[in-house]
A = this chain, B = another copy of it.
């Protein structure tokens, strides 16, 4: 882990290299970003104002030989939820920051001058320069142009027009190993970067100190155990590499937990047109398609892919289940190419692809566009959001914005963040996670689908209330710890089923830093992170009543006719730790 903090002050346009305070020494990723935000950001501040900060941190194992450890955490007060936010992404920036010895980048303040800036980070620290040449440009063009101008090997973080407009659904794009795009998706990271008038950040690792391992032999042994477990587990070794995350369409459809037409139905009429198997076969049948692709160097799952059209022309990559669900089921779009094009345009304008999908289903609910019309959704992204028309502003601020602006009551959000791809009535554990997550509705915060549906780490009946709070709590605690390592969340699958995989996670940290953490320390870290985040949210004006699902989930959802039947008291038990 790096030994320096890069602090970038956008009010007076200065940068500094600081030593790492002792209290932050053992932290990385989400653990560090949430700690910095909780310490330095006034909880009641305006998320788009000068008191908010944008913090980037690689994980504790980033840039080591540990498989799947290359994710970057971004932390800030969210303009979408009004609470704390950590959003992590693959791409190449995390490993470059780590090799520069940088533990965190803290961006604070706000320029008075009405212009735009670029940040460059290298072994000498950070520099700020005024740069307006890419303003209004999409992320694909920016990534390409910056690469051509400054070198293809630089890490790049950028915002699209949505971030420039400070839209609450705006993401931060990260350049991936092929020059394509991964995203700090949820919670409006791009709007915060836009509020600080930063269009892009480049990272040059040249000359950096690299990563040193305290006990290389031990590290190598544990990394091997870990990698083997990943390859042995059926989800990370077979399902995800073969079909990508979209393998879940058929599984959730069979379970009746695939929210369709804005959470009216638990199954979709056209699963065969959008399922993982079809995505795989479509990609495989087309020129230049890549069925398995990693979002960062060192990934051995490779659940990403490159999706091309019939002529082999690139359409999109990182084409995830959540996106395909959102357009294919929530919006009821049956054309996979249309969905892929929506994925591209969201990446290009810089919109979170989950929020983007959910907000379009709410736009259909409002009658703005017809159900199932994937060309209409594309047009709204490309013409309205990209240009910042009034309609584009409504949409770009997320599902809650669309629903409230049009006076709807069927608005699938928690803490104003769009609800993802699993119905909380028919998969009740994930409903507890949606309700209680400090992040707003977020499946990754405590992915009970593992146990409710995939029978990983045991089985808890998704339709029964029993055991769901405990399941969600345990997974949320574990996730907060995993989000601090730089690992992608999918390492949880083998870690839940294969004891030596779980052990390997903290033993690799021990070997990296010369520590002697135990499993209890991992749990304690996770609990501490959740409590820090929740304390921030409470100080920002939230209460236990913020941990509730929308009223309309009292309506039964076919095929099980399940309803959301947890009382407030039952939900609040989540925090009893």
Contacts and interface: CB of A to CB of B under 8 A. Distances in A.
Contacts of A542: 541
Contacts of A79: 407
A165 B406 CA distance: 7
Contact of A407 (B165, B540, B545): B165
A527 interface: no
A433 B29 CA distance: 43
A281 interface: no
A540 B44 CA distance: 19
A393 B405 contact: yes
A405 B162 CA distance: 12
Interface of A: 44-46, 48-49, 51, 79, 165-168, 191, 194-195, 389-391, 393-394, 397, 401, 404-409, 539-543, 545-546, 548, 550-551
A375 to B, nearest CB: 19
Nearest to A389: B390
A405 B405 contact: yes
A394 B404 CA distance: 9
Given A46-B551, A545-B44, A551-B45, A167 B393 contact: no
Contacts of A401: 404-405
A51 B551 CA distance: 10
B394 A390 contact: yes
A408 B195 CA distance: 9
Number of copies: 2
A384 to B, nearest CB: 8
22 contacts: A44-B551, A46-B550, A48-B409, A79-B407, A168-B404, A191-B407, A194-B407, A195-B407, A389-B390, A390-B391, A390-B394, A394-B394, A394-B405, A397-B404, A401-B405, A405-B405, A539-B545, A541-B542, A541-B543, A541-B545, A541-B546, A543-B543
Contacts of A545: 44, 539-541
A391 B392 CA distance: 10
A435 to B, nearest CB: 12
Contacts of A393: 394, 405-406
Nearest to A170: B407
A35 B110 CA distance: 46
Contacts of A191: 407
A408 to B, nearest CB: 8
A170 to B, nearest CB: 9
Contacts of A389: 390
Contacts of A397: 404-405
A190 B532 CA distance: 41
Contacts of A391: 390
A263 to B, nearest CB: 15
A48 B551 contact: no
